[in-house]
Amino acid sequence: MKLRIHLAFWFSLAAIYALIVLFGVGFIPLPKLWHTGKPVVWAAWQAPDPNAIPAGPAGDGIRYGIHLFQETPWYAPQFTGNKLSCSDCHIANGIAPYATPLVGMTTIYPTYNKRAGRVISLRERIQECFIRSENGRPLPKNSREMDALVAYIGWLSQPEPTYKPFIGRGLIDLPLLHPDPKRGAQIYAEQCAGCHGENGAGSLPMMPPLWGPGSFNDEAGMNSISKMAKFVQYNMPQNRRGILSAQDAYDVSAFIHTKPRPRFNPAYKKY
């Protein structure tokens, strides 16, 4: 019995050694064990090249969507009620990780929306942004502006099989902390006021307003201390990212939430 066990052990060890030798000299290419195609070399995810946007109406729609995304009040004044652009909340034109990026959104929607209590489309989600974050009016679903934004998001989300999947959807996770707005006032003065101003009015077009009539209204997604803290801790200050702790982010977000901002228009409650 013991002899059979020893023989089995040595035969197994010999088989493993033989495989190692075959791999080492190249008789059995390792990738061939699990697929018959060429080995895939994965590159980091990259945004599409704007120079590759095609000519013609489809490309014109994407290009207009980029402009609209970057300077929303300028390109859609009839639908905006403040001074914020889409790119102020979706940093780097919607591709920055953990800054509410829009990459892949066309594959996620339609999806259930907790606030609406139902499944909504991407166009309906854009309408929500305009009446809350833009403090404006909902874009008509088939308007030129809506078509352009959807085209731009679709262009960002186009599949690229040689790239790794995009990483960084949504916001980072932070523990639920007890904020101190008084301490947050000091942090704001030291770390934020240089860009956003002592009065929170920002410095357009680069620095958006954080409160007051030019900012988002009181039903926007950022009108939440915990959500703003997640955004702030990972992304701010833009020129010194990473210097704020989770507690710092909670405190400064709480301070910002002590300031006045526009009221949501109840006429748009159905959105």
Residue for token pair 């301070």: 255
What is the SS3 string spanning 230-269? HHHHHHCCCCCCCCCCHHHHHHHHHHHCCCCCCCCCHHHC
pLDDT tens for the chain, 271 residues: list them.
433 434 343 444 344 334 333 334 333 333 332 333 444 455 788 889 999 999 999 999 999 999 999 999 999 999 999 999 999 999 999 999 999 999 999 999 999 999 999 999 999 999 999 999 999 999 999 999 999 999 999 999 988 777 888 999 999 999 999 999 999 999 999 999 999 999 999 999 899 999 999 999 999 999 999 999 999 999 999 999 999 999 999 999 999 999 999 999 999 999 9
Tokens of 52: 């590759």
Burial level of 240, CB count in 10 A (0-12/13-18/19+)? exposed
Predicted local distance difference test score (pLDDT) of residue 150: 98
Predicted local distance difference test score (pLDDT) of residue 164: 85
CATH hierarchy code of domain 181-267: 1.10.760.10
Predicted local distance difference test score (pLDDT) of residue 41: 52
Type and span of the H or E element at 112 = strand 111-113
CATH topology of domain 50-156: Cytochrome Bc1 Complex; Chain D, domain 2 (1.10.760)
Percentages helix, strand, coil for the chain (3-state, rounded to 5) are: 45, 5, 50
- pTM above 0.85? no
Distance CA 255, CA 51 (A): 42
Predicted local distance difference test score (pLDDT) of residue 33: 29
Distance CA 58, CA 53 (A): 9
Q: Give the DSSP letter of residue 86.
A: H
Predicted local distance difference test score (pLDDT) of residue 9: 38
CA distances 86 to 24, 38, 149, Å, are 54, 41, 10
| Bond from prior residue into 57 cis (ω within 30 degrees of 0) | no
Predicted local distance difference test score (pLDDT) of residue 27: 36
Predicted local distance difference test score (pLDDT) of residue 3: 38
